[in-house]
């Protein structure tokens, strides 16, 4: 494999200050790190511009950085290396990558690749989860300052504030040709295993199972969420009568009234109605070699 790597570094990443030793390790191993000399609106645009000049892409940042680059990486057909420098780093968790950036650089140097699935919603790819509902308000509450100060604790703090004010909305979920009418505060569709700072979409989920996992939170009052909290951590929400869990390769979610925003890995990705699909084995990432 060639060693020319397009380096996409989020300068605002929470752990960005710890990136330099990882870059040194990569250079010592013979990698030429090429940083874009122009300004681009999205990381995907940078990948497209440099696709014929590099052999791989290395993204240094959190899940938002990765999501911003994924469409370009897929189009270019380049392998992706991950340096987890963000707050949640949910894709890195799903891939069992080390949290230490230098150790993550060693994974890239080792060169083992793993093909993973991607989610797709209304034309945009995502790694972890895309959703309609309270996630939009939670993301608005997650300021850069709160993530810098509280780390992953900023996620449940923001969620608690939003959940106490949440109001259910009506929607249709189309799955396997069947239309299901729901009253919900959120419909989330997961491709990977982790989201939201370590929450588990489904205990059975993996990022290469060619399957999407849909979770609809069908509560009427915010306090009904309290007994669900432990289940968010262990991926057993489906055991609750207030939560609907479906698996499949494609879903459509149609909110009854407003064109609600779609969030994909913490970034706004258009408005509903939304069509979700899985794209099997869509991307090669550098990962630990399975024993």
CATH number (domain holding residue 212): 2.60.200.40
Taking the C-alpha atoms of residue 211 and residue 176, their distance in angstroms, rounded to an integer, is 13
- How far apart CA 78 and CA 34 sit, in angstroms, is 15
pLDDT exceeds cutoff 50 at 291: no
Query: Do residues 74 and 174 both lie within one domain?
Result: no
For position 210, what pLDDT does the model report? 97
**Does 291 reside within a domain?**
no
**Mean pLDDT throughout 103-108?**
97
The pLDDT of 50-72, averaged and rounded, is 94
Q: Say if residue 148 is in the same domain as residue 236.
A: yes
Question: Are 176 and 264 in the same domain?
Answer: yes
On the question of pLDDT at 244 being above 80, the answer is yes
64 contacts: CB under 8 Å, gap ≥ 6: 10, 86, 265, 266, 267
157 with 67, same domain?
no
Q: Residue 116 domain-assigned?
A: no
If asked whether residues 156 and 248 sit together in one domain, one would say yes
Residue 81 domain-assigned? yes
Query: Whole-prediction pTM value?
Result: 0.87
Q: What percent of the chain has pLDDT over 90?
A: 60
Region 274-282: mean pLDDT is: 97
Number of domains forming the structure of the chain = 2
User: In this structure, are 172 and 270 located in the same domain?
Assistant: yes
214 and 275 fall within a common domain: yes
Domain of residue 235, residue span = 124-280
- Tell me, yes or no, whether 287 lies in a domain: no
Which pLDDT band, with edges at 50, 70 and 90, does 216 fall under?
Answer: very high
Render pLDDT for 136-193 as a digit per residue (tens, 0 to 9): 766 655 545 554 554 554 455 555 565 666 688 999 999 999 999 999 988 999 999 9
Last residue of a domain, one of 86, 111, 136: 111
Q: Are residues 36 and 62 in the same domain?
A: yes
Tokens 């938002």 found at: 64
Q: Are residues 159 and 268 in the same domain?
A: yes
- Average pLDDT estimate for 124-140: 82
pLDDT in tens, 179-199: 999 999 889 999 999 988 788
H/E stretch holding 145 reads: helix 144-150
């Amino acid at each position: 494999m060639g060693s020319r790597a397009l380096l996409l570094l989020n300068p605002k990443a929470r752990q960005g200050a710890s990136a330099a030793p990882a870059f040194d390790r990569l250079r010592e191993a013979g990698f030429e790190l090429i940083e874009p000399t122009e300004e681009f609106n999205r990381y995907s645009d940078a990948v497209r511009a440099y696709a014929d000049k590099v052999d791989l892409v290395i993204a240094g940042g959190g899940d938002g950085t990765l999501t911003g680059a994924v469409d370009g990486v897929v189009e270019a057909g380049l392998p992706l290396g991950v340096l987890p420098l963000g707050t949640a780093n949910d894709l890195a968790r799903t891939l069992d990558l080390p949290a230490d950036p230098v150790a993550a650089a060693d994974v890239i140097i080792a060169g083992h690749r793993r093909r993973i699935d991607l989610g797709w919603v209304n034309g945009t790819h995502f790694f972890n989860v895309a959703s309609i509902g309270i996630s939009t308000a939670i993301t608005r509450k997650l300021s850069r300052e709160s993530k810098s100060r509280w780390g992953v604790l900023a996620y449940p703090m923001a969620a608690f504030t939003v959940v106490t004010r949440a109001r259910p909305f009506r929607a249709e979920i189309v799955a396997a040709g069947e239309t299901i009418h729901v009253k919900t505060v959120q419909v989330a569709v997961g491709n990977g295993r982790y989201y939201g700072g370590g929450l588990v979409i489904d205990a059975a989920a993996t990022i290469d199972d060619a399957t999407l996992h849909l979770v609809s939170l069908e509560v009427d009052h915010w306090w009904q969420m309290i007994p669900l909290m432990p289940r968010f951590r262990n991926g057993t929400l489906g055991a609750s009568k207030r939560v609907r869990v479906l698996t499949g390769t494609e879903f459509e979610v149609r909110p009854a009234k407003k064109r609600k925003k779609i969030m994909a890995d913490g970034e706004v990705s258009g408005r509903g109605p939304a069509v979700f699909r899985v794209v099997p084995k869509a991307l090669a990432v550098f990962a630990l070699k399975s024993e």
